[in-house]
Amino acid sequence: MRARLRLILPLVVLAALAAAPFLGFDSSFAYTVLSRAMILGMGAVSLSLLVGGAGLVSMGHAAMLGVGAYAVASLDAAGVTDALIVFPVAALAAGLFALLTGAVSLRTSGVHFIMITLAFGQMAFFTASSLSALGGDDGYTLYGRTEWLGTRLLENRLAFHFICLALLAGTWLLCSALLDSRFGRVLRASKENALRAQAVGFPPYPYRLVAYTLAGAICGVAGALLANATEFVSPATLAWGRSGELLFMVILGGAGQLYGAILGALAIVLLEEWLSHLLEYWRLAFGPLLILSVLFLRNGLAGITAMPKRRRPSGKPAALGQEADA
């Protein structure tokens, strides 16, 4: 039953996103907000793979987003704008960045891991700020979106909406498959009990490094989309606040479920828009709302749907991402 709910809810959310343009949400403003939510949702899902699946709380995930976005900008500066080149390059660049920084970061754990990923994120931020060829602090304006086989497909708002949606759905399916695979089983076991995984012959490091690299590559694709959505790339894309925002989407949505990250991204982006229209000092209301959600939604938004009929006997909060229904 719960297994079915886990499938139905994300499908409902994705269907709602697919239907949105035909239900009156087709203003340029609505498109902007929704695509932003879906793109950050992709990044959050890839982060959720690390947090919920591998127990790796990265505070530098926005750097992957930034590497993907800057790949678009630097290719644009070089005159390359075809999606078949741009998107793979964005994924590879972010994956490579994740591989190199992960190889070092994953030697640490716990708070040290958080700090070292933050440090690498800041390194990427300051590198981007000093890239004078790409505008440095001022950023780089794209005068056209990435092209698809010579057509300006991505500039069609409806098409771009569905490209974002398809990539979001693909990200969710891919990450779910990863967690269910042999690889994912080792990852999940290492998160819950690393000693156990080692005792049967699995050193956690290589599995974590591969997961970190894959999550980076996926987030790189999201970054390339983000550059296209805003038609502008600046160091703000990879500021550390963005990393925190992604992490918050994962936690608000519920790290125990990958689709929780989608719910979290939608909730935060929509709430931000709504509150900023309602109140001038909307951040004053945003903060307490986030605190309340953490206090009362122990398993995140995804946890509401999977409300247990009975509480867990030990009263312990469910370990992140431990779902393993037989």
Tokens linked to 238: 């990879």
Smaller CB distance to another protein: residue 277 or 312?
Answer: 312
Q: Which tokens belong to 146?
A: 């990435």
User: How far is CA 27 from each of CA 111, 157, 163, 164, 199, rounded to the nearest angstrom?
Assistant: 44, 10, 17, 17, 57
Provide the strand spans (E) within 99-154: 140-141
List phi, psi (to 5°) of 182.
Answer: -55, -45
CB of 325 to another protein, least distance (A): 8
The β-bridge partners of 151 are: 148
**Residue with smaller CB distance to another protein, 36 or 188:** 188
Q: Given the complex with another protein, which of 130 and 193 has the nearer CB atom? A: 193
- Minimum separation from the CB atom of position 96 to another protein (A): 19
Q: What does the binding site for another protein look like in residue numbers (CB under 8 A)?
A: 177-178, 180-186, 188-189, 192-193, 195-203, 207, 210, 313, 319, 322-324, 326
Output 152 or 196, the one with its CB closest to another protein: 196
The minimum distance between CB 6 and another protein, in angstroms, equals: 14
CB 269 within 8 A of CB 94: no
For residues 31 and 205, what is the distance between their CA atoms, to the nearest angstrom?
41
Nearer to another protein, 96 or 319 (CB): 319
Distance in Å, CB of 186 to another protein, minimum? 5
Q: Please give the DSSP secondary-structure letter assigned to residue 307.
A: -
Give yes or no for a contact between 229 and 35, defined as CB atoms under 8 angstroms apart. Answer: yes
- Element (DSSP H or E) covering residue 233: strand 232-233
Nearer to another protein, 25 or 183 (CB): 183
